[in-house]
Amino acid sequence: MAMNEPGHDPADVATGLMLQITQHSERLALLDQQVAALASQLSQLASADDRDEGGDVNQPEPVPQWWKLEGTERDKALNRLRAWVEQVYRPGYGHLAATLAPCWDQHLFCLYSLDWLMELWSALYLTEERKTSTLASQAEWQIRLLPALAEQLHHETANCERHRVKDPRRQAIQSALNRNP
Q: Do residues 64 and 112 lie in contact, with contact meaning Cβ atoms separated by under 8 Å?
A: no
Whether residue 170 has pLDDT greater than 60: no
What digits encode the pLDDT tens for the residues 84-109? 999 999 999 999 999 999 889 999 99
Query: How much is the average pLDDT of 134-142?
Result: 89
Q: In this model, does residue 168 exceed pLDDT 80?
A: no
> What is the average pLDDT value for the chain, to the nearest integer?
79
Alpha helix stretches (DSSP H) within the chain: 10-49, 71-84, 90-92, 94-98, 108-125, 132-140, 146-158, 168-179
| Residue extents of the structural domains in the chain | 71-173
pLDDT, greater one: 177 or 89? 89
Question: How confident is the model over 100-125, as a mean pLDDT?
Answer: 91
Average pLDDT over residues 122-135: 86
Single out the residue of 90, 100, 114 nearest to residue 167, CA to CA: 100
pLDDT at position 152 over 60: yes
pLDDT at 11 over 60: yes
Maximum distance among all alpha carbons in the chain? 100
Q: Which of 8-22, 44-58, 160-174 has the lowest mean pLDDT?
A: 44-58
pLDDT of 173? 57
Instruction: Supply the pLDDT for residue 48.
Output: 57
Distances (CA, A) of 95 to 86, 91, 127: 14, 10, 26
